[in-house]
Amino acid sequence: MAKIRFGEALEVLPVLVPATATNDTARVSSFVDLSMAHWVTFVCSFGAISVTDTGLITVAVEGSTTGADSDTEANVNFSYRISNAVGGAPSMGTITACASSNTNTVASTDVASALLIIEVDPQEVNAYRYVRVSLDPAADTTSWVSSILAAKEPRYPGNAIPSSFTAT
């Protein structure tokens, strides 16, 4: 069973720094190389989110053959679930499968001060070596805080795991 003991069995790295956006600007993580991964989980952490209307956030996992931001990325299948907000009763929401062909949105009220946990199965995105997460709030978003960590189970765990994260 994989565990996070000093990152020897799971590679855990930040892929989007914590930051406040003052408008509806999308935030995109670094790419993660899936070539030597059994699976990858993205943990999107949200703080306060201010909106004037519906406050939807479009969530996508984008695949790339190069791991570079080239505007040729394509959406891929993924699944997600949402944790409770800080201070709320401990709970994990229902696992929701998202098809690459759909526009997948979550309500800002559901993710404010909570975690959005995204699972990507490398077998389902075999046409792409790299994946990243895109969070794009609706135009009515006036301020929001977010960050993303990636946890990956490498094929060859150990104290010096070969890194397969990119810096884009």
* Residue-wise pLDDT tens digits, 121-159: 988 888 899 999 999 999 999 999 999 999 988 776 666
pLDDT, residue 21, reads 85
pLDDT, residue 53, reads 87
* Residue-wise pLDDT tens digits, 138-148: 999 999 999 99
Specify the amino acid at residue 68.
A
Specify the amino acid at residue 36.
M
pLDDT, residue 72, reads 81
Q: Where are the domains of the chain?
A: 9-154
Mean pLDDT of all residues in the chain? Answer: 88
CA gap 97, 103 in Å, rounded? 12
Share of the chain above pLDDT 70, in %: 88
pLDDT, residue 136, reads 94
Q: Does pTM top 0.75 for this prediction?
A: yes
What CATH number is given for 9-154 in this structure?
2.60.120
Share of the chain above pLDDT 90, in %: 59
Average pLDDT of the segment spanning 86-93: 90
Distances in whole angstroms, Cα of residue 34 to Cα of each of 22, 66, 159, 168: 32, 12, 19, 15
Residue 162 in this model has a pLDDT that exceeds 80: no
pLDDT, residue 6, reads 65
Q: What's the longest Cα–Cα distance across the chain?
A: 48
Dihedral sign (CA 60, 64, 70, 72): negative
Quick one: pLDDT band at residue 104, thresholds 50, 70, 90? very high
* Residue-wise pLDDT tens digits, 65-84: 998 888 789 999 999 999 99
pLDDT, residue 10, reads 84
